Amino acid sequence: MPPEKRKPFARKQTTRKPALKKKKPAVFSKQMKMALVGLLLILLSPLYYGYVLSGFVATWRWIKDWGQDPNYRTYKSFNIKIPKKYTVHGIDVSYYQGKINWSKVKAMKEDEVKVSFAFIKATEGILQVDPYFQRNWREAPKAGIVCGAYHFFRPKKSGRAQAKFFLQVVNIEKGDLPPVVDIETLDGVSPLRMRLELSDFLTYVEMKTGVRPIIYTGLKFYEDNLEGKLDEYPLWIAHYYQPKLKLDKSRWKFWQHSDKAKINGIGHVVDFNAFNGDSTALANMLVH
């Protein structure tokens, strides 16, 4: 049927019943109120905050130490990380550290770490004497610290002349550590020329003192210029901020592992060293 002829459909009117009003539930039951009061008392308790704080500190330490070598940890007193597998530690100083209170250096200790030895700069090249050498050389042994003197080597200068100059300044005596030659740079000469002059220095010092000197150098310089050469001489190697010295342990005696140590009695940061051995082994190295 066409839409215009359809009769309209009459709908019955319906009346809606008014909705029943639901009772609002109580916001807090008696049990909930008691629970909230208990929680509030806990939150206001100093013991709670102490517990939370201790948990936070423990978590922070875990995050900080996660993945770290347990044998290489920070010592707060010294303000550096120190390898834990070594029992004998020491420093090396020059004029840069200024006037040192050696009694305070000797007294400093954290756990079992303390300064047992010190290498002291004496000379450089053929003319320079460290202005603090004589004072350090005199005062450090008085405080009970074993000492050794070192010469900063200049490859452009005669090795023999440098050795003579060094021995004019330093009187090596019984109880001292062996003398040290510090070689860090080629100064524009070839590695071969450097080794020839260095060999002359070492030979002359050993001949005059009867003591075999120690060679100090950085790990990279050693690998590039000295590895496999002059192997009869003890090594003191600089290799910083590492849990382990990346060199065969049979090859070295001392390891300078940091240049940022804070030491009581010294106004500037200091190089920190580990000895490859115990106190008896260190005593056996001393001049007899």
* 223 and 242 fall within a common domain: yes
pLDDT single digits (tens) 58-78: 545 544 444 567 889 999 999
The residue with greater pLDDT, 244 or 44, is: 244
* Helix, strand, coil share of the chain (percent; to 5): 35, 20, 40
Instruction: Report the pLDDT value the prediction gives residue 24, as an integer from 0 to 100.
Output: 55
Q: Residue 53: pLDDT above 90?
A: no
For residue 176, tell me if it sits in a domain. Answer: yes
Closest CA to 272 of 114, 69, 106, 151: 114
3-class DSSP assignment, residue 135: helix
pLDDT band for position 20 (cuts 50, 70, 90):
low
Q: Which of 92, 130, 176, 271 is catalytic?
A: 92
Average pLDDT over residues 104-120: 97
Give me the pLDDT at residue 34, please. 72
Q: Exposed (0-12), middle (13-18) or buried (19+): which is 287, by Cβ within 10 Å?
A: middle
The 10s digit of each residue's pLDDT in 205-256 is 999 999 999 999 999 999 999 999 999 999 999 999 999 999 999 999 999 9
Regarding whether 96 and 53 lie in a shared domain, the answer is no
Q: Evaluate if pTM is beyond 0.75.
A: yes
Count Cβ neighbours within 10 Å for each residue of 115-138 and write b for 16 or more, e otherwise.
bbbbbbbbbbeeeebbebbeebbe
The total number of structural domains in the chain stands at 2
Q: Does residue 263 lie in a domain region?
A: yes
Same domain, 157 and 199: yes
Whether 4 is a known active-site residue: answer no
Does residue 154 fall inside a structural domain? yes
Task: Out of 65, 83, 111, pick the residue that ends a domain.
Answer: 65
Residue 6: other Cβ atoms inside 10 A: 8
Calculate mean pLDDT across residues 139-154.
Answer: 98
- Are residues 223 and 144 part of one domain? yes
Express each pLDDT in 245-281 by its tens digit.
999 999 999 999 999 999 999 999 999 999 999 999 9
| Confidence band, pLDDT 50/70/90 cuts, at residue 146 | very high
Look at residue 94 and tell me if it is in a domain: yes
Q: Verify whether residue 184 is a known catalytic residue.
A: yes
Domain range for 250 is 72-285
Q: Which of 65, 110, 111, 184 is catalytic?
A: 184
Domain match, 59 and 158 both: no
